[in-house]
């Protein structure tokens, strides 16, 4: 039964508890249930006093204020180190946790460049001025690493905003995410690649060839097995034409920084899985290598350790001393192993590959990533000019100057648009 009183009412529930309700501004509100009637009456009395004194707050608004107070309290207690450590462990990208190499890289950046300044600072105490001061002194001689470090801190603080621990991300510096390369990569020439290959032990020479002409990353390269070399059965096999041969890229090997040793990951770099067509001039070298240096089982490694043929070739063995010594011999001490991809991409572009084809071959997901590998060879501007002339097919007229014949398949507007595109590309090449 409900008990009537001057303000609100109290109802005894079947459970034996007492429900307190009241009406204010024509809206009914519940104060919940209480163990005794006296407790319910006290709650109604406090509410009536708040209304009379003008301090009453709508229960929904009060709940929001309580949540905000709890958020502020948590932000004041949670340090960046505590939040970032959990962020790295639980971060998901497209429904998947961070790859080991990414997670280890983030942990190193946090340890070396972020925690010394902000590690023990509460999230709510990190101000925009603090971030600006930190960034002004951050890795001045290493702009690429500086940009990556800034991006990591910004991503972590964005998540703190999403988790409602912060109202605004204090990591906001215009242009801090963009940077120019610390040094311009100069692709190796064909002769330099050949000389480097010849300086490598025979059983590992194909690593240089595939890294260059199939644009493989070193982790993908060292994880190749016999089963990853696929010949298209429908392709012609009669000499001198080589059968269409492809590499399946779906795993990589890398150093395990937590447990030591090497780790084979069944999955290439995120978004990089797929197949790579082997250029015909490389196919004979692949077949010869399979015959002379690879075991018969499908899972036998293409490149094996000199100590144990059951183990994949360690990256350290390939690099030091063999690759480092070989690049020194050709006068290219600046040429990183990864830079061999630039050489392959350069000649693919010179062969007429479009940007979309280059992205597919290098297994890049974004244009921005692919553009890092775009280069022009010496004389590119001259050859482009020649192609322009070949395209417009000039013809001499006895009564007029040179006239341009329009291809029948194109309208005048289409022709002019194409010429404008070629001229714009020529200007770009000359400015480089």
Is 217 tagged catalytic?
A: yes
User: Is residue 323 flagged as an active site residue?
Assistant: no
Q: Are 176 and 310 in contact (CB under 8 A)?
A: no
- What element of type H or E holds 74? helix 59-77
Tokens 């399979």 label which residue? Answer: 290
- Lookup: tokens for 35: 């163990």
Task: Report the distance separating Cα 301 and Cα 50, nearest Å.
Answer: 78
Smallest CA-to-CA distance from 302 within 217, 231, 205, 197 is with 205
Which residues lie below 8 Å from residue 191, measured CB to CB, with a gap of 6+?
A: none
Examine the residue annotation and report whether 341 is marked as an active-site residue of this protein. yes
Catalytic hit among 251, 332, 363, 364:
364
Query: How many Å apart are CA 295 and CA 298, to the nearest integer?
Result: 8
φ, ψ (nearest 5 deg) of residue 52:
-65, -35
Alpha carbon distances (Å) from 286 to 191, 292, 340: 19, 10, 18
Active site residue 307: no
DSSP letter for 323, please. I
Cβ pair 337, 188 in contact under 8 A: no
Catalytic residue among 217, 332, 363, 375: 217
Which is the catalytic residue, given 227, 338, 365, 427? 338
3-class DSSP state for residue 264? Answer: strand
Mutual orientation of helices 100-109 and 80-90 as an angle, nearest 10°? Answer: 170
CA distances (Å), origin 163, targets 70, 148, 260: 13, 23, 35
Tell me the Cα Rg of the chain: 34
Nearest alpha carbon to residue 182 among 222, 145, 214:
145
Pure H helices in 268-379:
283-293, 315-317, 324-329, 340-350, 355-362, 367-371
Active site residues: 217, 338, 341, 364, 373
């Amino acid at each position: 039964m409900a008990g009537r009183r001057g303000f609100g009412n109290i109802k005894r529930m079947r459970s034996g508890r007492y429900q307190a309700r009241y009406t204010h501004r024509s809206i009914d509100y519940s104060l919940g249930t209480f163990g005794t009637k006296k407790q319910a009456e006290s709650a109604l009395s406090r509410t009536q006093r708040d209304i009379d004194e003008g301090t009453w707050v709508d229960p929904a608004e009060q709940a929001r204020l309580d949540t905000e107070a709890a958020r502020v309290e948590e932000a004041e207690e949670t340090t960046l180190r505590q939040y970032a450590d959990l962020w790295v462990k639980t971060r998901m990208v497209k429904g998947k946790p961070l790859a080991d190499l990414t997670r280890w890289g983030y942990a190193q950046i946090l340890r070396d460049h972020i925690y010394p300044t902000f590690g023990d600072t509460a999230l709510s105490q990190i101000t925009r001025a603090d971030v600006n001061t930190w960034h002004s002194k951050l890795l001045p001689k290493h702009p690429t690493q500086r940009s990556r470090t800034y991006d990591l801190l910004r991503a972590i603080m964005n998540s703190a905003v999403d988790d409602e621990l912060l109202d605004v991300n204090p990591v906001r510096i215009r242009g801090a995410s963009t940077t120019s390369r610390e040094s311009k990569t100069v692709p190796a020439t064909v002769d330099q690649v050949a000389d480097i290959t010849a300086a490598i032990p025979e059983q590992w020479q194909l690593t240089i060839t595939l890294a260059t002409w199939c644009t493989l990353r070193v982790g993908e390269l060292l994880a190749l097995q016999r089963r990853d070399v696929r010949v298209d059965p429908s392709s012609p096999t009669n000499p001198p034409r080589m059968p269409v041969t492809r590499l399946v890229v779906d795993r990589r090997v890398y150093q395990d920084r937590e447990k030591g040793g090497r780790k084979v990951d069944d999955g290439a770099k995120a978004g990089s899985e797929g197949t790579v067509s082997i250029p015909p001039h490389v196919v004979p070298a692949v077949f010869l290598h399979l015959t002379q240096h690879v075991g018969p089982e499908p899972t036998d490694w293409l490149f094996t350790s000199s100590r144990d043929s059951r183990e994949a070739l360690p990256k350290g063995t390939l690099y030091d001393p063999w690759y480092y010594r070989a690049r020194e011999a050709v006068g290219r001490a600046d040429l990183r192993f990864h830079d061999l991809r630039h050489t392959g991409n350069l000649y693919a572009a010179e062969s007429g590959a479009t940007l979309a084809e280059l992205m597919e071959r290098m297994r890049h997901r974004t244009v921005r990533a692919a553009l890092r590998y775009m280069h022009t060879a010496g004389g590119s501007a001259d050859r482009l000019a020649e192609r322009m002339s070949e395209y417009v097919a000039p013809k001499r007229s006895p009564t007029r100057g040179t006239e341009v014949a329009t291809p029948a398949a194109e309208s005048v507007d289409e022709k002019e648009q194409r010429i404008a595109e070629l001229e714009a590309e020529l200007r770009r090449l000359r400015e480089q």
